[in-house]
Structure 1
Amino acid sequence: MNSFIKTLLLIASLGLSANLLASGDHDHGHDEHDEHHEEEPQKGVHNGRLLEDGDFVVELAIYEKDVPPEYRAWASVDGKSLKPGDWKLEVQLSRLGGDVNSFAFEPEQDFLRGQGVVEEPHSFDVKVIATYQNKQHQWTYPSYEGRITMEADVAAASGLTTAIAGEGVLQERIKLYGTIVADPLRVSHIQARYPGLIRSVKPTIGARVKAGDVLATVESNESLREYPLLAPIDGVVVERHSNPGEFTADRVLFTLLDERVLELHLQAFPTDASKIKTGQAITIYANGQQAQTKTEYITPRHGETPTLEVHAPVDNSAGNWVPNQAVEGWVDIAQTPVPLMVDNRALQSFRDWQVVFIQIGDTYEIRPLELGRTDGQFTEVLSGLNAGDSYVVENSFLLKADLEKSGASHDH
C-alpha cells in the first residue's frame, strides 16, 4: 500500500474522533456548524444559548459585531424580561491546559455585559452562576471548537510529532550555490625521488592506503638499488600512472586523496559581500543530505563574473559527500533571540488565522497565533501560545483535515 493511500485511510479513520467532539456545544451567539451536533442547544431571540432553571431563564451569547468578542446576557421570569440591574451574573471558562477566565457583568442598556474579551479559540467548559432575588442558579456545559481527540497509538501511526514552545534564536540567512571539491591540502601527487625502473606496484585505483604504506618499488638508474615509494598521507588512490617495467621519468605516478574532509566552494555576488564573514555557520543540502560547517575564508573568484568564493571544510568521515557534487548552502548572517518561537512546519491556516495544535494527553486543540519575524524555519510568536506548551510539528495537516471534515468552524 503506497503512502498516499495510507494517508487517506488515516484521515478517514481520524474523522470519527473529530465528529464526536464536534457534537459538543458552541454557543457563540453566531451561526455555527450546528448541523453536526447531535443535540443543538436551544437558542433565544438574541441567538444566544438558553439556560433554564424552572421559570428563570438566562440567554447567554458571545457578541462580536464590530467589537472584540464579549459576553452579553438577558434574563426573564415567566417570560417577562428582567431589567439588567435586577439580577447578577458570573461566567467562568475552563480551557484546555488549565487556564481559567472569569467574567463579571455590568448593566448596559437592556442586557448585562461581560467585562473582558472572550479570547479565541472559543473552546472551554463553561460554568454560569446567576443570582436573582438572593437565589443562585447554576449551569455547566462544554463548548468546544477546534478540538479533537486522538489516542496515542493512532497519533503515532499518523506520524504526529510534537515540540515544546520556548525561546530560541532566529537565523537570518542567505542562500548560495556551489560545489564540494577535494581539499587541495589533502591531495598528494607522488613522483619518484630518483628516476629509474619501476619494479613493483602495490595498490590499484580505489585502494585505501595509510601514510607510510609502500606504493611501489623503484630501481634507481644511478645506484641500481631498489628503494620504496611511500604514501605521504592516508587516502584513496584516485590516479595511478605506473606499472612494473616502466620508467618513472619525471611524471606523477600516483595521486592520493584524503576524502574524509572535503572543501565547500560557494559563489557569492558583491551585493552579499558585506554580509559574509569568516566564522559564520553554513548548512549545506544536496540529495536529501545536509551538513553543518563554518566559513573558513573568502576569496575573489577567477573569471569574468564579479563574484566571491566562500570556502569551508566539510566533514566527510561518514562518506556522504563526493568531490564535484553540486550543493546549496544557507549562510547564517545574523542571529536574533526571541522569547517564544515555533517550528514553521507546525503552522496551519484555519479560518482567517495561522494556528498550531497544542497537545494535552489525547486531546488536540487549535491556538490562533499572532506571529512576528521568521527565518524560514522558525517564526516568532507574539501571542496565542505559552512557553512550555506542547505543539504538533509534523503532519499537523491531518488534524486540520479532520476538523474541516467535521465542519468544526463558525462564522466570524
Structure 2
Amino acid sequence: MRKTHLFLAALCAATLNACGQSEDNTGSTEEQAAAEGDYERGPHNGRMLRDGDFAIEVTVFEDGVPPEYRLYAFRDNKPIDPKMVRARVMITRLDGEKTTFEFEPEKDYLRGQGVLIEPHSFDVVVAAKQGDASHRWAFESYEGRVQIADEAARGAGIRTETVGPQQIGETIEIIGRVELDPSGSAEVGAKFPGSVVSLHANLGDRVSRGALLARVESSSSLQTYSIYAPISGVITQRDSNVGDIAGSDPLFVISDPSRTVATFPIFPRDIERVRPGQTLQIRGLEGQRAQSSRIRDFLPLAEVSSQAVTARAPLPNRDGFWRPGMAVRGLVSVDQRRVPLAVRTDAIQQFRDFRVVFAKIGETYEVRMLELGQEGPEWTEVLGGIEAGTVYASENSYVIKADIEKSGASHDH
C-alpha cells in the first residue's frame, strides 16, 4: 500500500484561508497568523487547506523515494483532475534560505519537482490556481526546533562551536569500569590514640568540609578532642563504633563522588598503540550518554594472568551519572588524519532515525541531520547535512533534545 507522510509537526498551526482573487492580486492576499492546534487531515492523511469550496491537501511522500511534495486538489470535497490546477509551494528555512517547488500533474495528484531536504522545518506558502481563481495559504511547519534564551542556555551548560576542519583519530574499543578517584578521597583517623566517645556520621552520609565526624578521649591526656572532615564528600567507609579504641587505622574514608575515573585493562595486543595523553570517548554499555577524556596514566604493575596494564582516565561526574562499579566502553584515538568538516562527538544526538547536532541561529536551535564518516572519541567526520561555518551546540546538547521532545516539536511521520 502506498504510504503518504505528513510533513508538518504536531505544533503546526491551524489552516489559514484567504479569499480567491485574480492571479495579478495573489501576492496581496491577506495571510493570517497561524494559531496553535491540530489541523484538518485529508483523505491521504495530509493537511487540508481550504478556501471556500476549493481545497488543497498537502502531503510529503517518501515511500521508496526521496521526500517529495504531493498535492491533491478538491472542489466541494470532490477530487479535481490535477491537470486543471497549477500550484507552487515556497518554503523559508530558519537561516533565511528560500526554496520554491513547482508541480506537474501525475495520476491523481500534483507532484513536486524537487527533493524536500531534511529537516522539514520552515515557513510555508502554498499558492494554487484553478481557472481564474487564485488561492494562497501560509503556515508554520516546524520540527526539531526550540528557542532557548542565551542566559538560560549558559545556565544549562550549553556551549557552541563552529563546524570546520579537524583531526580525526582511528579508534580502539576498550571495556572498563568507573571507580572513585583515589586523589578525591581522604582517610580520617584519630590524632591521638584513645576511646571513641561519639560518632556523628554514618556510611553513605554526605558531609561538608569541616563537619564534625567524631569525638575521641585521648588515652594520655584524658582530654576529649574533635575530628572534622578534611574534604567534602560521601562517607564510603566507617570502621569504628562508640567505645572502640582509636589507633593508627582510619575511622572514616570520605570520597568526593564528583571525582571519578574510568579504568581500562589494556591487553598486550594494544599496549604498543595506547599511550598516556591519547583522547578517548567514554560511554555506558547502554544509552547515549558520552563524555570525552584523555588517558591520564597507567598503573605500574601488570596483571599476572592476563598481562594487562590498567589505564586510567579522568571522568568528571558533576551530576552523579557515573556510579563506581558501572561498566563503561571507551573509544581510544590512536591515529590521526585531517578532515574538512567535523563536529564534537559528544554533541551528536539521536533524533528519530537520524544522528544530529543542533544548529544555533539567534536564540533558536534546530536539528541538522548528518551523514557521518569516521567517528573518533573527540571529533566525528561529517560528510553532509551541515555546512562549514555553522554554529552548533557542542556541549550538553541533550538538554536541547529534551526540550524539543518535551514540547512535542517532532516530525509527524
Q: TM-score, normalised by structure 1?
A: 0.55
**CA positional deviation for 1:376:** 1.4
Q: Structure 1's 273 and 147: CA in aligned 2 closer, same or farther, altered over 3 A?
A: closer
Partner of 2:383: 382
For structure 2, the residue ranges without an aligned partner over 5 or more in a row are 1-8, 16-34, 177-264, 282-290, 310-329
1:345 aligns with 2:343: no
Partner of 1:24: 12
Matches within 5 A, 1:97-246: 97-172=95-170
Q: Structure 1's 110 and 371: CA in aligned 2 closer, same or farther, altered over 3 A?
A: same
- More helix, by proportion: 1
SS at match of 2:341: strand
Amino acid paired to 1:353: F
Partner of 2:67: 69
SS at match of 1:105: strand
Quick check: 2:279–2:377 contact (8 Å CA) kept in 1?
A: no
SS at match of 2:400: helix
Partner of 2:58: 60
Aligned length: 265
Quick check: 1:164–1:389 contact (8 Å CA) kept in 2?
A: yes
Q: Structure 1's 289 and 384: CA in aligned 2 closer, same or farther, altered over 3 A?
A: closer
Q: Structure 1's 364 and 332: CA in aligned 2 closer, same or farther, altered over 3 A?
A: closer
Matches within 5 A, 1:301-316: none
Task: Name the CA distance, whole Å, in 2 between partners of 1:92 and 1:388.
Answer: 26
Task: Name the CA distance, whole Å, in 1 between partners of 2:405 and 2:364.
Answer: 17
Amino acid paired to 1:348: Q
Cα deviations by residue, 1:193-228 (Å, 9 ceiling, x for unpaired): xxxxxxxxxxxxxxxxxxxxxxxxxxxxxxxxxxxx
Quick check: 1:284–1:290 contact (8 Å CA) kept in 2?
A: yes
Quick check: 2:94–2:122 contact (8 Å CA) kept in 1?
A: yes
Matches within 5 A, 1:214-363: 271=269, 333-363=334-364
SS at match of 2:388: coil
Task: Name the CA distance, whole Å, in 2 between partners of 1:377 and 1:339.
Answer: 15
Amino acid paired to 1:68: P
Amino acid paired to 1:24: C
**CA positional deviation for 1:159:** 1.2
**CA positional deviation for 1:292:** 10
Quick check: 1:22–1:406 contact (8 Å CA) kept in 2?
A: no
Cα deviations by residue, 1:72-105 (Å, 9 ceiling, x for unpaired): 1111233442211111111111111122222111
**CA positional deviation for 1:63:** 2.0
Amino acid paired to 1:100: K
Task: Name the CA distance, whole Å, in 1 between partners of 2:384 and 2:391.
Answer: 15
**CA positional deviation for 1:306:** 12
Q: Structure 1's 362 and 132: CA in aligned 2 closer, same or farther, altered over 3 A?
A: same
Higher alpha-carbon Rg: 1
SS at match of 2:65: coil
Runs of 4+ in 1 over 6 A off after TM superposition: 267-270, 288-293, 304-307, 329-332
For structure 1, the residue ranges without an aligned partner over 5 or more in a row are 1-20, 28-36, 178-266, 294-300, 310-328
1:83 aligns with 2:81: yes
